[in-house]
Amino acid sequence: MSAQPRPRVGLFVTCLVDAIRPQIGFATLQLLEEAGCVVEVPQAQTCCGQPALNSGDDRDAAHLARQTIAAFEGYDHVVLPSGSCAATIVHGYPDLLAGDPDWAARARAMAAKTHEITSFLADVMGYAPAGRRLNASATYHDSCSGLRELGIAAQPRALLSHVEGLEMRGLPGNDVCCGFGGTFCVKYSDISNAIVTEKAEAIEETGAEILLAGDLGCLMNMAGKLHRRGAKTRCFHTVEVLAGQADGPAIGEEAS
Amino acid sequence: MSALPDFKDRAKAALADPVLKTAIDRTTGNAERKRAAALAAFPEFEAARARGKAIKDHVTAHLDHYLEQFERNATARGAQVHWAADDAEARAIVTRICLAAEAKLVTRAKSMLGEEIGLPHALADAGIERVETDLAEHIIQLAGEAPSHIIWPAMHRTREQVAELFKAGHQPPPAAEDPATMVQSARRVLREKFLSADIGISGANFLVADTGATCTVTNEGNAELTTTPPRIHIVTAGIEKLVPSTAHAFALLRLLVRSATGGEMTQYTTFHAGPRRPGDADGPEEMHIVLVDNGRATMLANEFREMLRCIRCGACMNHCVVYRQIGGHAYGGTYPGPMGSVLTPVLDGLAASRDLPNACTMNGRCAEVCPVGIPLPTLLRAWRRRSWREGLEPGSVRAGIGLWAQLARRPRLYRLATRIGLPLLRLFGRGGWISRLPLAGGWTDHRDLPRPAAQSFMDQYRAQQKGRK
Amino acid sequence: MTARDRILSAIRATLGPGKPPAQIAAEAVALLDPADTARPRLAAPALPDAFALKATALGTSIDRVAGMAELPQAMARYLSAHGLPPSFAMQPAPELAALDWQGLAPHPGVAADEPAALGLALYGIAESGSLVVHSGPENPILMAFLPLHHVVVLREATLLPHLEDYAARLSAQAIPRNAILITGPSGTTDIEGSYVRGAHGPGFLHVILIAEPG
């Protein structure tokens, strides 16, 4: 027998990346291929259902869970560039479908092979980027779902340490929520604003040129606040830097 | 501020109060640092937490057994045990004991259960003078307020504000505004009250089933001064406070103190087993214990059972981004913060408090610091589920989620919608940003929105794949 | 139905038939086993050292003396060091009354503004630096709370390693009305979280640690 067959990975780009920042999806795709995966992008994907789940609308959340499971369960692994969407599949789906005899086992099986991208690269594929350089200073915010529901903290930092020239600066309160919270940020926008204002102040105080995080929702919140405040901080998803794409436009910058 | 009927209005008023923010930052910042240091010095914390959780679950699973055992042993020590199914019954029992004793002056050691059942108002209605002896409760009694935190009830007040209250409320007023001088002034004023009270009322941190003792923990020593000199000692306690034995109480106390204040042990940990014995040098002649259900037996039966593990340490609120912005009063219930957002719908009804479980980012920090492993975000989500099911969520939210879900459940239609929607949305932007967007003021009032892509990832990817073929 | 019946029947409706009490008790005991993995280690190998480290960290002062006979001198030393009068409240315990108090003036009652009081601890707990006091005919509880300076005599022989060891002693004897663990002087952090000593109870806690066995 020759080497192990390359794992087949279903890439779930998530609804926010799909609409707001496709670059993150392509960076994820590139990294997965570099890591030796065969990547496919099922056309039946839309949203993981998190907004419904967090609003208490279990019926719609369960519909989307079944749809997503049906689209992805045939792959060896399911990978997402988002800790919170991955956590929805890993923890939310088995919970949502626990009482459904046709789907409970499928939800658990799906959960067992679903990964957030940086943890998949570091923990499952043992991948490290090679030949990447970015002469800049950056700081990293730990998005809450990835951090607390999936234990993602060391993996992105370890991967980023392979990018030459990148100076990582500590962010005080790196594990404190940015105030996004999905629909929370519009339902309770005054409170959300107060939280993200403190986060933006902390980011600015690091003096870092770049803010990195692993969830586009949180990044949009922080980037949007930083821009409103007139800060010059540029914001990228971690995978964009890992894939060597941080020489392109940051979040909120248009390609020229 | 707390008079505003709507959570969002109360929150907005709190956010506009820079003095409140200063006070919250000082106290919660301190609490967070001290807890972290206490845990760093206690490498066995995770094991202790697992044990604490198991102890609480064990008691919950045998709650009837332990209640009866406690009652038997407390009665054997001479205490009188009363049962109250709800807050009104609990108030009535306490008031009846006070009136029967012709009590004029009652001293009280801080108890959140007492707040939960509305004891302060009930005593006032019965014409009984109530003196709060915990320093923070003394401060808010002078201010005519409710607690804003379960460990530091006056944490919303800065030292400057406390100085104003003491200047008006202490005779003679304190000589200076530093905390030490103000504490001395309160010590002097309250000392007379301790010794002249007819009845002392306390709560209980633990009810020890195998000895029939109640346990209070304080750092000030006010509980013992409240419960020892008067003729009568009344304890009001929730039925979830039971522990099998003194050793189990200690296992939980290690978690409680470190999580609450970052200390290792409270200065005074006192077990009260009945009234004065023959020959005792001091102590009350009567001890009454009021066991209060008030929704707890219902929680035992529903999806909120795990909340019965709560030991009222306050760590969840100290580490909550929402609490740290709006403080405790904005929540509008007896208990604020994450644990309060689970409990208030039980106590006040979901219709009156549906905002609380929703006003949470689900970041999970509360569950991370909870010393008895309560999955607070999961319980908050359970309230959201009920609120949705019972139709309590606003129509705009239901319509928004419903419309979006209809699209998301139809991938082809969803693709079409993004194909039409993204270019439309881009029209509102300039450069890479959208700074004003109709119907999205919740976002754009406070922050800019990155302009969406002209073409979705899925369309770009499909085009690429076609190009490759 | 009484409230008691309503509460218990609601609980039983949820929990179903209970296990035999002996089985519940055995499960409860098993929850605490093994003790060492879920509690802090002692601050030092020897109990007196461990106790002293924890107690002093909390602001308790300690004077270690060889025997009970030296107690009056140690008390005199403490009182004069703090500029206190020679008159102080003393717990009415025979082993204290039997000592020669020389120039000092102990008295039995405790006044509302008593400057200092001297009492005996039943046990000390090394894990936490706690002193244990039980109420009784010879032990007014207010003696530990009214004075500004609380001086406590603790014999090294009564030191227990952990809180559980005290719990075991407690359950092996007649339960007192009040059992109190005193761990440092009275304090509060209620004004902006800043620590102030002497909130309601003693602002000063002093332990005279006696080396000789009882």
For residues C184 and C182, what is the distance between their CA atoms, to the nearest angstrom? 6
pLDDT tier, B3 (very low <50, low <70, confident <90, very high otherwise):
low
Residue of A nearest to B450 (CA): A252
Residue C51 maps to a domain: yes
C149-155 sheet: strands from edge to edge: C61-65, C204-210, C149-155, C116-120, C87-90, C105-107
Question: With contact defined as beta carbons under 8 Å apart, do B282 and C140 qualify?
Answer: yes
Helix (H, G, I), strand (E, B) or coil at B80: strand
- pLDDT of C10-33, one tens digit each? 999 999 999 999 999 999 999 999
Where residue B1 falls among pLDDT bands split at 50, 70, 90? Answer: very low
pLDDT for position B4 = 80
Is any Cβ of chain B less than 8 angstroms from the Cβ of A91? no
ipTM of the complex: 0.97
- Any domain includes C14: no
pLDDT at B188 (0 to 100): 94
Considering chain B, what is the average pLDDT of its residues?
96
Q: How far apart are CA B245 and CA C25, in angstroms?
A: 10
Listed residue (A27, A36, A32, A81) closest to A242, CA to CA: A27
Q: What pLDDT score was predicted for residue A1? A: 45
In a domain, C27, yes or no: no
What's the gap in Å between the CA of A97 and the closest CA on chain B? 14
Q: Is residue C116 part of a domain?
A: yes
- Say if C147 is an interface residue toward chain B (CB within 8 Å): no
Both structure tokens of B326: 């709006």
- Give pLDDT tens digits for A160-219: 999 999 999 999 999 999 999 999 999 999 999 999 999 999 999 999 999 999 999 999
The residue of A11, A20, A142, A149 whose CB has the most chain B CBs within 10 angstroms, and thus the best one to mutate to test that interface, is: A20
Residue C122, class by beta-carbon neighbours within 10 Å (0-12 exposed, 13-18 middle, 19+ buried)?
Answer: buried
DSSP state of A29: H
Enter the pTM of the model. 0.96
In a domain, C189, yes or no: yes
Residue C105 lies in a domain: yes
Q: What is the pLDDT of residues C67-84, one digit of tens each?
A: 999 999 999 999 999 999
What residues make up the domain containing C50? Answer: 42-210
Q: Which of B409, B447, B34 is nearest to B219 (CA)?
A: B34
Q: Which residue of B has its CA nearest to A183?
A: B361
Digit-coded pLDDT (tens) for A68-90: 999 999 999 999 999 999 999 99
* CB contact (8 A) between residue B8 and residue A58: no
Geometric angle at alpha carbon B213, from B208 and B218, rounded to 5° = 90
Which of B53, B139, B183 to mutate against chain C (most C CBs within 10 Å)? Answer: B183
Task: Domain count for chain C, please give it.
Answer: 1
Q: Do C144 and B222 touch (CB under 8 A)?
A: no
Of the listed ranges A228-237, B1-10, B260-269, C23-32, the least confidently predicted one is: B1-10
Q: What is the pLDDT of residue A193?
A: 98
Q: How many CA atoms lie within 13 A of A148 on its CB side?
A: 18
Q: Which residues pair with A77 in a beta bridge?
A: A9
Q: Is residue C12 part of a domain?
A: no
Which chains does chain C touch, 3 or more C-beta pairs < 8 A? B
Q: Residues B277-287: pLDDT tens digits?
A: 999 999 999 99
Given a cut of 90, is residue B366 above it in pLDDT?
yes
Instruction: State the average pLDDT over residues A53-73.
Output: 97
Q: Residue C109 is part of a domain; what is its CATH number?
A: 3.40.50.10420
- Which member of A51, A181, A220 has the closest CB to residue B450? A220
Of the candidates A144, A194, A223, which has its C-beta nearest B15's C-beta? Answer: A194
Using CA atoms, how far apart are residues C10 and B425, in angstroms rounded to an integer?
A: 56
Q: Do A191 and B368 touch (CB under 8 A)?
A: no
CB contact under 8 A, B362 and A191: no
Do the chains A and C touch each other, judged by at least 3 C-beta pairs below 8 angstroms?
Answer: no
User: Does residue C18 lie in a domain region?
Assistant: no
What's residue A256's pLDDT?
64
